[in-house]
Structure 1
Amino acid sequence: MGYKNMSVETSLKYQQDFFEHFAAAWADQSTYRIYQGIDNTAANLRLDPHDVPGYILAYDKQAEQELMTFLQQHLVSWLRDHIPFFDVTDDGRVFFGDWYHRRQFGRLDVINRTILHQTDDQRAIMPQLYDFADHQATYLDDQLEDMRRNVYQQATDLHNQLETLEADQAGDSEASTGGRVASNAASSSANNGSGLRGLLRNFIDPDEPDGDAPEEQPVRPARQPQRRGNGLDINRIRRQFDQAKAAADKAFDSQKRQLQVAAAVTNYEYQAVTKEYDTVADFANVLTSMADDYMQALKADEGGQHNA
């Protein structure tokens, strides 16, 4: 029943009953009933669940901290058994395993009974586990190849520019050589032709003057193609390529080691998950249902205590 349907008297009676029940739950140290009180208050008053302890305890910071410490102790204890490969610290930090280079998976949200991922690295763990499950044989090689392309991208671009300039220079040189050969051949042919015609005229009619001979047309040299690249451009690009290649080699060696370590850690995490669950998806479902599972465990424990 929400406050919007209550009269003043009903509302006050509801408040009185609620605080009596919450006080009894605290006196009995009933984690289950305390959470019930928090959840019901958040739903009825449309509050963020994190604001409810302050509302219930009149925003007394010391009282709020005492309540949070009590709830956290019980949640930490339960989670250590519920997901055994999690290393959960007393202050609510959740680590994946106890091996070297282990990663923090998140931090407990005590009020909502979930695990919060607070950084990009923490949020990346589950996608990496899914990826590893799908590509176990090539997981590291795929990452190394992606990294290689990124690291060497500038060097690759410069290498392509260098090849283009060198090809242009080679083409210009070939065209220039061909032009000179054609010009020399044309000039030689013209001179030879003129000399032969002169000999024939002298042989047929030695008295005929040479003035009647047609005027020789000058031979134009072949036009040289314009060069797009030059030695200065090639040398500059070659220096830039050498520098980019050296920097990429250094970066690749450094990042390769980091990727190898990261892949090994992901492998450890995957082995831990599949030892407890059939698939990564099953593990994800356990995380999703964590709050419900915890409340069911608390309810069962509450019933057991009453029966005892």
Structure 2
Amino acid sequence: MDTEKCLNYQKQFFIDFAQAWHDRSDLELYRKIDTTASSLRLETSEVPAYILAYDKQAQAELKAYLQKGLTKWLRTYIPFFEINSEGVVMFGDWYHRRQFGVLDVWNRQIIQTDELQQQILPELEGYEKDNDNYLQNRLDQLHEQLYQEANELHADLDRATENADSAVAQSRLNRDKAPQQNSGRLKNLLNFMDSNSGNEETNDSEAATPAPNTAEIADLKTRFTAAKQLADTHYDEQKRQLEVEVAVIRYEYQAIVNQYSSLTQFENALVHIQESYLDNLQVAPNLASKGDDQHA
């Protein structure tokens, strides 16, 4: 394309875009944004700045207009989502509701910007797999996590106590064997050498038996008691919080299955927001300005 043709193309593009804005045609505005992104290999979010000469006020005006139409449509497409003027998408209208994401007006998507938002769908998937036992499974996981240190100390205490009991039992066994080896004065006399040897073995055996480490056991008991008390406190606190979280997940799931045949269908609807919205604009190209008395 030579220079003149290129300039004419650019001129016609801006004339068409200006007409689409004058007509408040959401459909044509989005079509031209998408076409420009494709032809110039730009991110869709970069195109409005390019078209509007990087004027911040003009970009904000265009975004606010297009967001108005997209929000109207989303209220029917996903009716349990609430979207404020800042594009924040909230899941439901119940107490402790969660932020699902933020509206991306240029790309016509809902994006999840942090870990809390990104874990909503996986949690719903987990709930769908076993909703009857979901709460108890989460509580079991929490218990295992919080009581890990206490359980390890308890195991150490059991081992130390068992070793101490074994040491005491061995010591008693050694003492019980000693009189049998010294019975009979005559036998001792006749087996003088053997008896001395046996006594030496007994003494060696007794010396080899370690004394119970009572200090270690007392220390383990103290540490175990403290760890368990701390785990009890944290578990009681977090159990209530987890019960509330699971109740919210239950509300969310129920809202989804009341509107869609399954969680999978809902996830599919999220993925295809852009295509579905453009299909809707084929029927109602002026959705944002529909119902307005005059153009902004």
Give ranges in structure 2 of 5+ residues lacking alignment: 288-296
Change (3 A) 1:9 1:215: closer
How many pairs are equivalent?
282
Matched to 1:250, the amino acid is: T
Query: Which among 217, 220, 230 is matched to residue 237 of structure 1?
Result: 220
- Displacement of 1:29: 0.6
Contact kept, 8 Å, 2:82 with 2:90, in 1: the verdict is yes
Q: TM-score under structure 1 normalisation?
A: 0.87
Counterpart in the other structure of 1:83:
78
- Displacement of 1:7: 2.6
Within 2, Cα distance between the matches of 1:236 and 1:109? 58
Task: Write out per-residue CA displacement over residues 109-136 of structure 1, whole angstroms, 9 at most, x where no aligned residue.
Answer: 0000000111111111111111111111
Within 2, Cα distance between the matches of 1:234 and 1:214? 43
Task: Write out per-residue CA displacement over residues 39-82 of structure 1, whole angstroms, 9 at most, x where no aligned residue.
Answer: 01010000111111110011011111111111111111111111
Answer with 1 or 2: which has the greater Rg: 1
Give ranges in structure 1 of 5+ residues lacking alignment: 1-5, 198-212
3-state SS of paired residue (1:111): coil
Change (3 A) 1:35 1:239: same
- Displacement of 1:215: 6.6
- Displacement of 1:217: 4.6
Counterpart in the other structure of 2:157:
162
- Displacement of 1:90: 2.1
- Displacement of 1:227: 2.6
- Displacement of 1:302: 3.1
Counterpart in the other structure of 1:247:
230
Contact kept, 8 Å, 2:168 with 2:212, in 1: the verdict is no
- Displacement of 1:298: 0.9
Task: Write out per-residue CA displacement over residues 124-182 of structure 1, whole angstroms, 9 at most, x where no aligned residue.
Answer: 11111111111111000000001100100000000000000000000010101111111
Residue 148 (1) aligns with residue 131 (2) = no
Q: How does 1:1-308 map to 2 (within 5 A)?
A: 6-187=1-182, 189-191=183-185, 193-194=187-188, 217-218=195-196, 219-220=199-200, 221-222=202-203, 223-224=205-206, 225-227=208-210, 230-302=213-285
Contact kept, 8 Å, 1:76 with 1:90, in 2: the verdict is no
Contact kept, 8 Å, 2:188 with 2:195, in 1: the verdict is no
Matched to 1:56, the amino acid is: I
- Displacement of 1:239: 0.6
Q: TM-score under structure 2 normalisation?
A: 0.91
Identity across the alignment (%): 38
Aligned CA-pair RMSD: 1.9
Within 1, Cα distance between the matches of 2:129 and 2:86? 35
3-state SS of paired residue (2:96): coil
Change (3 A) 1:110 1:174: same
